Amino acid sequence: MNFSFVSGDATRASGELLVIPLFEGELGDTAPSSLAAADTALEGRLRGAAAQEGFKAKGEQSFLMHTHGRATADRVLLLGLGNRARFHPETLRLAAGRAVKAALRLKAGSVAFVLPATDAAADAVRAVAEGLLLGAYRFDKYKSSAREEKNPARVGKVALVLPEGVEKTRELDDALALAKRVGEATNWARDLVNEPPNAVTPTVLAEAARQAAKEAGLQVTIGGLREIEKLDMGMFLGVTAGSAEEPRLIHVVYTPKSARDAKRPPLALVGKAITFDSGGLSLKPSDGMIDMKTDMAGSAAVLGAMKVIAALKPPFPVHAFIGACENMPSGTAYKPGDILTSRLGKTVEITNTDAEGRLVLGDILTWACEHRPSAVIDLATLTGACVIALGNYITGAFGEHDGTVNEVLQSARTAGEEMWRMPMSEMQKDALRSEVADMKNSGERWGSSINAALFLKEFVGETPWVHLDIAGPSNSPKERGYLSKGGTGVGLRTLVEWVRLRAANPEAYEAAPAPTVKGASKAAGKRARKPARG
Ligand code: BES
Ligand code: MN
Ligand code: ZN
């Protein structure tokens, strides 16, 4: 998609489809100049026809009309943005997604998109460009009909029409460049999620990470079973034991160029990467297993975010830590009743092999915290209960470090990703008490998302930590705005925003102590304090 900025009469802007977003009431006297111009070109018929069809510019409303050669565009599309007082750039991102889907349906190869006059033009540019890029996404490479199509619909050119009085500035160029990176990285992450589990194995995921890191100029280290054994990640080893696919340990590092910046404590990003979750011996029923290729969505979003972060160049290092494997039943699989010893030294009784994510993440979080980050955030499709609680579009945020949790919530809000803080009540902790080990991996059904978060908490020590349960929003059940059915790439924009937020004030964040555990073996204690290789 090629973007350009244009000024002046929208009806003269080049594009087969002219898109004019409107707030409620703007069909009347307060019409923006673009609508007035289009209406004049169409001899006063546009507003009348739209009104007659019941178009009031409410959110999610749209109205399409042919121009019969009276404007550069063949058609004009009015997009409802709803109430101006409740405007958030996310409204525009969703509307742009609907517009590009309409363009593709109409086989319009180019679009002129009128930017609405809002408080911050740069935010509008970013939202529109991201909405268009994300909305144009399709995953149809396995459809013979799509592969054989000679002229697949494609929007190649977009003219962004600046509102009256707004000049093209460096700030708008930067917003557009960031939007392109975010849009492309999100679609890349969506591909990883949508690819079937026989295509994206742990090995393939690691190779995708390697290639992405190389292209972005990031350092990458990939380990296999041997490295996982050397790191004593007993929980990770338990989960991968039943699979014929080799596990992978992925470590991607961004280091700032300046030596002073490089010495700052890093940010640590962790992503769940179960490339297929059958449940293991505690096998899932068929209905619950069908979407379980998406159980690596957290790692896809983290890796996608790293691509963008490499270009943002924040003044502190950023590390991504990922443990990738399958969760499968077999003669070598880990069993209910097994007791596993984590890297941190804590022992865990397995009561349900389907609570596998927290096991891998526990070991990976310990490893991440050994690098003494200023904060660690994990993205994980962790619990079905979080989907029950918050539905398909809202992420659950857990953590006890209020400052960091609030930063992440604020970043999510700026990014237009809905997120809701969940409690981590110690009252629930009984659920994980084991008779035979330090804890068990799964408790009762009630409060299952909180139990999972409390389990993870055991492995981060004093490091400020936020856990994002993306089990719902990682996968959209239907088309909506810029979302298509399937992988969404959720969390990527929040991570990018969080890094931007911290980059504005890098001095404020100190390294946290690495986790240590009382009662663990001496070796484990020593190990926990020493930064690991890789
Ligand atoms: N990957 C699943 C969680 C999940 C469910 C993600 C639905 C996306 C959609 C996770 O590994 C899991 O199986 N969780 C169990 C935990 C339980 C056994 C304690 C769950 O939520 O049922
Ligand atoms: Mn599971
Ligand atoms: Zn899982």
2-148+155-163 against 182-529: fold identical: no
**Residues with pLDDT less than 50, the chain:** 518-534
Q: Is 284 a catalytic residue?
A: yes
Q: Which residues of 224-261 are buried (b: 16+ CB within 10 A; e: fewer)?
A: eeebbeebbbbbbbbbbbbbebbbbbbbbbbbbeeeee
Q: Is 264 a catalytic residue?
A: no
Domain ranges of the chain: 2-148+155-163, 182-529
Query: How wide is the angle at C-alpha 426 spanned by C-alphas 423 and 428, nearest 5°?
Result: 85
Q: Which of 138, 180, 284, 413 is labelled catalytic?
A: 284
pLDDT of residue 526: 44
Starting from the CA of residue 469, give the closest ligand: 1
Rounded CA gap, 310 and 252, in Å? Answer: 11
Rounded CA gap, 181 and 39, in Å? Answer: 36
DSSP β-ladder status, 465-469 and 395-398: antiparallel
Instruction: Tell me how far the alpha carbon of residue 399 lies from the centroid of ligand 1, in angstroms.
Output: 19
- H helices of 383-432, where? 384-390, 402-415
CATH number of 2-148+155-163: 3.40.220.10
Rounded CA gap, 120 and 414, in Å? Answer: 13
pLDDT of residue 268: 98
CATH number of 182-529: 3.40.630.10
pLDDT of residue 429: 84
pLDDT of residue 517: 60
Pocket test for ligand 1, best of 382, 432, 441, 469 (most atoms within 8 A of CB): 382
The reply to whether ligand 1 has any atom less than 6 angstroms from the CB of 387 is: yes
Residues β-bridged to residue 320: 252, 269
pLDDT of residue 82: 97
- pLDDT one-digit tens code per residue, 250-282: 999 999 999 999 999 999 999 999 999 999 999
Residue closest to 260 by CA, chosen among 507, 532, 496:
507
Instruction: Tell me how far the alpha carbon of residue 119 lies from the centroid of ligand 3, in angstroms.
Output: 42
Whole-model pTM over 0.85 = yes
